Chain A
Amino acid sequence: MRAVSGYLANFIRGSTRCMFPIASLVVWLLLLVIPQGNDVLRTALERLQDNSVSDLVFLGAASLLLSLSIWYSMRWLLSAEMASLPLSGPPDSFSRIALPRIAGAAVPALVMVVVAWPGNFRRVPTTSLWLVAGAFGALTLALLYFFWGRAALATWLFGPTGDMNGATGRTASGAPGTLAEGQPLPVFTIRLLGWTLFISGLLAVVFLLFGLTVPRAVGAAAIAALALASINLFGSFVLTYLPMRNGLPPLAQWVLLYAVAIGAFNDNHGPRDAKVLTPVVAVRTSPADSFLSWSKDLPDGATYYIVAAEGGGLRAGFWTAAILQEMEKQLPGFSQRVFALSGVSGGAVGVAVWAAASRERLCPLTPAGAVAPAPVSGGPSATKILASDFLAPSIAGLFYDDLTQRFVPFPFAPLDRSRGLEEGWERAAYRVPGRPLESTMDGFYEGCDRLPELLLNSTVAETGQRAILTRLSTTGFVDTYDLHRVQLSTSRQTVAALALQSARFPLITPAGSVREAPADDQGVFARFFAGWWPDTKLRLVDGGYFDNSGIQTALEVLTQIQSTPKGKRLKPVLLVISSEAGEQHLCGPATADALCPLPLTTQPQMPPPVWRWLHESTPPLRGLFNVRDSHIRILAKRAVREFGLQVVVLPPPLSVDGLEAPLGWALSTRTREDLLDGAPVSLKPYAAALRLQK
């Protein structure tokens, strides 16, 4: 019994000492096994087919550094004598020596296991899988050899009197276990920490200067590993080892407290003005008036479309773009029949990018002085724009830029991690003629009233209200916060930034601050003070908290349209672009008369399994999260029952592996191909009713 309690005490003390290395390892494991992490690895493996090894080389190098960081810090933390948290047994006991080595080697070993796990990457060539798994396996073995045999290696290199000044830890002068309390760290360790800080700072500068380009080259997984290596060394030595050697507890919680305390002074998630500011139209038209103007050439009985695009990260965005592109392909002139696009989160990104990519088709840009419109140059399609990697810049912003900002009591807008997505979309759509994603909402429509109306849904954190980012008047919408006012900063933001206000994916993207639009003649001092202590009116979080489908807003638009005589004479179709592969059950098989025949089921066909763990705390959270899906089902049902609408529900396909596309901000080639291939398949049941051409 005493032995057991001794082991338990040692385990607790050791875990406390090693909280940073353990946390780093756990975060690394989670990043590798979540679907988005899997898809990042898949991308790296796919790039091998293009003769590109850079992702894997960066991942290997970063894994090596993280491995060394975890081993070195654990070695010191477990071997050193700390009066406030003593460990029983001699400093060179097997567990205190072996655990750091095993934990260190686990970093590349985990990559190897995930890559080689049967069924994880089914459609990646086996040769590539074995090659990569073998390389990471070899790295694991090399590290284990180094950890266990470095003394012999040092003797072979430097001779029997070799002393690496603490690097090997085998000699009395620098081994952690031999340092008396109060004795300073060896020079080697101090230099290592200095160089870690220097290189971390340098990487932060690189990611700050090239926030969109370098992270894409390095890859999200390697960035995460590099950041974890730095955070671990700093946390282990500065926040744990040094205070505990001097009779203090670990300082991590005090550092967190400091970050919380200065949080009021460093909000860097404020708005960024568009480069070209278009004046806000003073008198905004209602959806009904706008519809009357838009539909004046449509004959009675003609079909028009309202799109509701559900949230779900880039999966939703890409799927929305794929469906709308496929509709245009199968129903030429489709984009001219779409009156409104109501999007939430990733769906908002999808509709905004599709509208931007369609602008040239609907309203070709005419060069000044030219008689005829400029020839349509094409520009990249929406799916091509959304094929970029938006995750890596966000991860770099999260781990480097914004993490630094949390400990600096003055806000620096360039350190805002939202830039990774906002500017990433703008840059990906740079070649779209006119660069519409970089315009304000009013600039987006300037000279092109035929564009579908964008309604980007967000949620006001302070009130729980829905906020709709649109140029239309929102007075006819129920309990909706109007954000498109001259006084607010949202009227000066780009369309890409407004889409981001809807797509505030937790953790990856922070809540967006809405502020008073600054006066143009503001002085330097006033500008500095406004930045340091901004007049934040409200914060916007993901639109999915209010309604993740966009159907609510779409239905309210339809209600207003159908209150007009013209609206009653036309035939609306509501395209619900879902992002959940399990939502086929929303409708029965489509017929010529009913695209979404009732009754809609009220329960999922396959209820998800019940969690046995954390049954006191997680059910309310799961309930809050899953109520969004229930809300979608209710809204879809209401659309069919109360409005008699033609509702088309288009869920994304499962891959041939039976997997759902991951929720995140990057998609591998294979996942994108699955979604592109799935678009015509999803539309097939509606081909006759919608008169699609193939």
Chain B
Amino acid sequence: MNDKARTPNALRNWLSRRMHVLLLVLGLALLVATLAVWTVDRFGCRAETSCDTLGSLNRAADAEQFEAVIWQTTSEPGIQAATPAAHAPASATVAITPLRWMMFMDSMAIVPAYLGLLVIFLVFLSRDAAVWVDENRGSPWWFVSDWKLQLACGLAVAAAIFDIAENGMTVRAAEDALEQLLADPTVADVHLATRLKWTFIALTSALLGVRALAASRREQDMRREAGHWLVAGALACGTTFLLLLVGEYGQFDMVRSIGAVTFGLELLLVGTALWKATSADDAISHSQEQGTLAT
């Protein structure tokens, strides 16, 4: 047995006891924040028709296109000026307040929520779902040890940091666009951060999927069903992220993509709830037989 893993830890126990509450809070936060961002994106801009600012910014290939999106969404309705300077709002930097707000909500609510969910799922699938292994014994590679779990959480943290960096860069790029100082490399930086974010989330989702699959194959009946939900959730997230990553997001509505990801995470939530709803006795005895840990 791994001594470190067996060390009594109140924080872990507390997390285990309160996990359903935490998951509910984080899931709700994710849903509400996504909905809020979607609402502002659709109706917060100043263009005559509804906007898709985030998607358009992601599709902007260079500074000129990026600038055009910013000016389109910040100018007064009905004005179609040839140059940005011709329809500059009274206070240009205030004009991007809806974008600022969306990025703020993303950084302060959506990112922490999905980071929290990913970390909890990783910890749950690694510890509670009985694929924790003794490092000193030979075991399949997809079983996790402590350092592998830390590393997996590191992937999720990397995704969150690149996401926050992307948000900050987007707002600064929008400010530069209003001042006509935006450079192509700045837009390229924003896109690179986006791709890195999707890469790391996709990797984390893939890990979740592998672990959920490993967990469900070891269980029976309800728990196997729950495992399938978990696999489906991870697959939904992973596929969305993968599609976004390989460059197809040019055809994507950004907010709809976030919705798809949210749906995947909700599937994971359902799977976790089902898993937790079933008695843990069988799992514990099963794990003990296999020499694995289920705390």
Contact = CB atoms under 8 A, between A and B. Distances in A.
B171 A52 contact: yes
Contacts of A387: 179
A161 B108 CA distance: 33
B11 A165 contact: yes
A159 interface: yes
Given A51-B100, A430-B184, A164 B11 contact: yes
Point out which of A50, A162, A164, A212 has the most chain B C-beta atoms below 10 A from its C-beta.
Answer: A50
B14 A206 contact: no
Given A217-B165, A385-B181, A427-B186, A54 B14 contact: no
Contacts of A158: 10-11, 13-14
Interface in A179-232: 187, 191, 194-195, 198-199, 202-203, 206, 209-210, 212-214, 216-218
Contact of A217 (B104, B108, B172, B184): B172
Contacts of B108: 57
A57 B171 CA distance: 14
Given A50-B93, A202-B157, A431-B180, A213 B169 contact: yes
Interface stretch (B137-145, B189-197, B265-273, B277-285): B189-197
B183 A431 contact: yes
A388 interface: yes
Interface residues of B, number: 41
A384 B179 contact: yes
Contacts of B81: none
B179 A380 contact: yes
A85 interface: no
Interface stretch (B1-9, B44-52, B70-78, B208-216): B1-9
A154 to B, nearest CB: 7
A50 B196 CA distance: 30
Given A50-B91, A213-B169, A388-B181, A187 B4 contact: yes
Interface in A392-431: 427-428, 430-431
Contacts, number: 108
B9 A165 contact: yes
Contacts of B154: 198
A194 B150 contact: yes
B162 interface: yes
A660 interface: no
B163 to A, nearest CB: 11
B168 interface: yes
B36 interface: no
A213 B189 contact: yes
Given A428-B181, A431-B183, A214 B8 contact: no
A53 B108 CA distance: 12
A282 interface: no
Given A54-B104, A213-B169, A157 B183 contact: no
Contacts of A570: none
Nearest to B169: A213
A94 B13 CA distance: 32
Given A187-B4, A199-B157, A380 B165 contact: no
A500 B193 CA distance: 29
A114 interface: no
A378 B189 CA distance: 26
Contacts of A194: 150
A163 interface: yes
Contacts of B100: 51-52, 54
A273 B161 CA distance: 32
Contact of A210 (B63, B104, B189): B189
A218 B154 CA distance: 21
Interface in A19-35: none
24 contacts: A52-B93, A52-B171, A54-B104, A162-B10, A163-B8, A163-B10, A164-B9, A165-B9, A165-B10, A187-B4, A194-B150, A202-B161, A210-B193, A212-B189, A213-B169, A213-B172, A213-B173, A214-B165, A384-B181, A387-B179, A427-B185, A430-B184, A430-B185, A431-B63
Interface of B: 4, 7-11, 13-14, 63, 91, 93-94, 97, 100, 104, 108, 150, 154, 157-158, 161-162, 165, 168-169, 171-173, 179-186, 189-190, 192-193, 196
Closest 8 CB pairs of A and B: A217-B168, A430-B183, A50-B93, A158-B10, A162-B10, A213-B169, A213-B189, A51-B97
